[in-house]
Amino acid sequence: MYNVVITGTNRGLGRQLVESFSQRGHNVWACCRTVTPEFEEWCADLEKDCNNWIKIIQMDLQEPESIKTGINHIISEKKSIDILINNAGIGHMGLFQMTSQKQYRSIYEVNLFAPMQITQMLLRPMQKQEHGTIINIASTAATEIYEGNAVYGASKAALIEFTQSLAAEVYKYGITVNAIAPGLIDTDMSAVFEGNNPEEPIRHTALGRKITTKEIAEDILKLLEMEIVNGAVLYINGGHK
């Protein structure tokens, strides 16, 4: 049984991760910006069903001070922090020249700088306990080349580089760092990438459909069993066509 920190948990893949990890008996610090009564109730019901604990941590990943407060709260509990999943992200699809500076800074803040800050803070307790697993949710967009992907793709490519270099740096402390690069997922965020033609992105996948959040969560759980895998990028996209 692990204690897991997951960001971006009130919807999409993050919410599925909370569910899948809970169903395996793991405990979760569920970090999210917006805490609704519905989400609180959902977490409470899941706790009852799974006999674990789920603690909701409100934090805004656009605000370093908010991150600091939230993560310090987790650390102050003095529990083993076994796994960090940097899941929260902002999707974006748009011509670079039509993307404001405010917008691309905001995307980088959530997709790169927040995971870096959270990781930096949690590495120390992980280092002291001499084990830890960090999983960064990147995207296949990190390596794909197409119009409108300059900002989002660059932010995820940077996250992958961060993952791989950090993996080399902290393995000596018993900490592994890997990235997951999903393709198009069946979440609200996928609408951002579909534009006016929802079938177009799917046409380029061998799978021929969107990947479900449950499929990704299950593959992430399998990754946890692989102790030597470090600095890897696991593409979960059903293959290119």
77 scored as a contact of another protein (CB under 8 A): no
DSSP helix/strand/coil, 215: helix
Per CB under 8 A, which region of 102-110, 123-131, 153-161, 193-201 contacts another protein? 123-131
Q: Does 116 bind another protein (CB under 8 A)?
A: no
User: How far is the C-alpha of 119 from the C-alpha of 169, rounded, in Å?
Assistant: 13
38: exposed, middle or buried (Cβ count in 10 Å: 0-12, 13-18, 19+): exposed
CB 5 within 8 A of CB 67: no
Per-residue DSSP letter, 185: B
The residue from 75, 207, 223, 229 that contacts another protein (CB under 8 A) is: 75
124 binds another protein (CB under 8 A): yes
Q: Could you tell me the smallest distance in angstroms from the CB atom of residue 167 to another protein?
A: 16
105 or 128: CB nearest another protein = 128
Q: Does 241 bind another protein (CB under 8 A)?
A: no
Backbone angles phi, psi at 86, to 5 degrees: -80, 90
Query: Which residue number, 23 or 69, has a Cβ lying nearer to another protein?
Result: 69
Q: Count of residues for the chain?
A: 241
Count the site residues for another protein by CB under 8 A: 7
What residues from 19 to 38 belong to the interface with another protein (CB under 8 A)?
none
3-state secondary structure of 162: helix
Token pair of 230 as six digits: 């470090």
What is the contact mask toward another protein in residues 163 to 182, using x (rule: CB under 8 A)?
Answer: ---------x----------
Sole binder of another protein in the list 103, 127, 143, 212 (CB under 8 A): 127
d(CA 199, CA 226): 35
Whether the CB-CB separation of 84 and 5 falls below 8 Å is answered with: yes
209 binds another protein (CB under 8 A): no
Indicate whether 128 belongs to the interface with another protein (CB under 8 A).
Answer: yes
Give contact residues for another protein (rule: CB under 8 A): 72, 75, 120, 124, 127-128, 172
